[in-house]
Structure 1
Amino acid sequence: MVFRIIFNFLSRFANSEHMIQKLSESYPIRRSAQIMAYFYHRTKGTIESDSFKEKLPPLNNRLLTFKNRFMNEFRQEMQNAKNKIKR
């Protein structure tokens, strides 16, 4: 009941054109939009350049190594747990 009242109250303000305009002019919203635009353009440029493709194979190898080590350790611990239960 209380959550419904709060939700209705917030939804009325969220749909208000005046409130949206006021929020869009606030510093935190403008700054977060600037940061998002910066990261968007930065990653877009990185993906389009060839430097991203050169860095991909070493990263891929590291991820595969991590996955293999994790799976081996997991299997080993599961086996140890099974052996402990059997005793």
Structure 2
Amino acid sequence: MVLRLLLKYLVNNEQLVHRLSQSYPVRRAAQLAVLFYMRSKHMMQEKGMDGTLTPEQFKALIRNFQHNLQKELKDAHEKFKSRKF
């Protein structure tokens, strides 16, 4: 109950939402989500698929997404660690 109220407050806090949206990790996550969507859409169009995936194809897409996400997070972490403050 308390957690729900806290989350509701944080989501409705316009300044906090704006600051988070300008942060590198959130921007990068949004970029990766769009990239994943566009790549999967393009792959499906190349293969002439109508938008339905077999369970094996879905698992392969998720596996690739997880691999790319982990790689990008690792790269971002390395860039962050190498910054001098």
Q: TM-score, normalised by structure 1?
A: 0.50
**What is the one-letter code of the residue matched to 1:31?**
R
Which structure is richer in relative contact order (CA contacts within 8 A, separation 6 or more)? 2
Q: Which runs of 5+ in 2 are unaligned?
A: 58-85
Number of residue pairs matched? Answer: 53
Q: Which runs of 5+ in 1 are unaligned?
A: 61-87
TM-score by length of 2: 0.51
Quick check: which has more Rg, 1 or 2? 1
Residue identity (%): 33
Amino acid at match of 2:37: Y
RMSD of Structure 2 on Structure 1 (CA): 2.8
- Equivalent residue in structure 1 for 2:23, among 18, 21, 26: 26
1:38 Cα deviation after fit: 0.8
| Runs of 4+ deviating beyond 6 Å | none
Choose between structure 1 and 2: higher helix proportion. Answer: 1
